[in-house]
Structure 1
């Protein structure tokens, strides 16, 4: 990753910068257009960050390398994870406690949390390794009791 700053700290800094910009976009263009612009920008940034993470060692964009990245997301007790399975082609876990959701609520932008954090996950995978796929049916950010992450690396998943 670009730095060793815990991801939760990075997301808080980003949220504090993005919030007034988003509010101005809502005023100028309406909420739907502002959300669309924000989602597209976050999507592109997530792909770029995934590619940056993979570029630190081009031979290391498999599940094992991806699992190591979770140290940044979970730093400072940001997430409580229940790991269900790790194999060469899968990484399954549930998030049972999410400081990110609390942080966005504290910043009074809970509705943006799913865009600024959760919305990155699938696209980060595409940048990290295009054959890494995420299936997730629910998130704490959207009111569920836990987030269900199911990552799969297709055959020949090495870049």
Structure 2
């Protein structure tokens, strides 16, 4: 018997999570305050994303920016994201997201105020977990009302760790 759960499209997975986390967040915020609750949420989501990035690197067997860019199809499945690719090289991956069904879904669920914490912020931690030498700079998001999300990944440093995934746990 296969013990692995079937892979849901990422958009569907995020919707299931949001339908559970949203009401929990509202209840915790009423009890403990919005600021404290959102800070804890962001910390937990960041840790999960960082570990997810490390797991992704291990499953691919490498930590290069090229390998990372090949995972974009998972983000885009079922039309979840529409992107305009700007640059793709060994040192940079730059694209704009011009339609984000993740943002649309959070808005439709009445969770627009939590969408950035539940979804957008995880991109930074995912990249860091995948390879600490990959940095994401993003100055705007559709979730926050901008006309597009500007994703700019860049490989920094020059260590050998970009060629092979580590088998140990990421610190952080």
Measured after TM superposition, the shift of residue 24 of structure 1 is 1.3
Give the corresponding residue for 2:21: 18
Instruction: Provide the C-alpha distance between the structure 1 equivalents of 2:132 and 2:163, rounded to a whole number of angstroms.
Output: 9
Find the partner of 1:29 among 29, 32, 37. Answer: 32
Listed as ranges, the gaps of 5+ residues in structure 2 are 165-172
Give the corresponding residue for 1:90: 92
TM-score under structure 1 length normalisation = 0.94
Work out whether residues 138 and 147 of structure 1, in 8 Å CA contact, stay in contact via their aligned partners in 2: yes
Listed as ranges, the gaps of 5+ residues in structure 1 are none
Larger Rg, first or second structure (1 or 2): 2
1:7-48 Cα deviation digits (max 9, x unpaired):
111111110110121111111101111111111110101101
Query: What pairs with 1:1-159 in structure 2 (closer than 5 Å)?
Result: 4-58=7-61, 60-154=62-156, 155-156=158-159, 157-159=162-164
Stretches (4+) displaced over 6 A:
none
Measured after TM superposition, the shift of residue 158 of structure 1 is 3.2
Work out whether residues 60 and 67 of structure 2, in 8 Å CA contact, stay in contact via their aligned partners in 1: no
Work out whether residues 79 and 98 of structure 1, in 8 Å CA contact, stay in contact via their aligned partners in 2: yes
TM-score under structure 2 length normalisation = 0.87
CA RMSD of aligned residues (A): 1.3
1:29-88 Cα deviation digits (max 9, x unpaired):
011111111111101011011111111133x21111111111111001011100001000
State the aligned residue count: 157
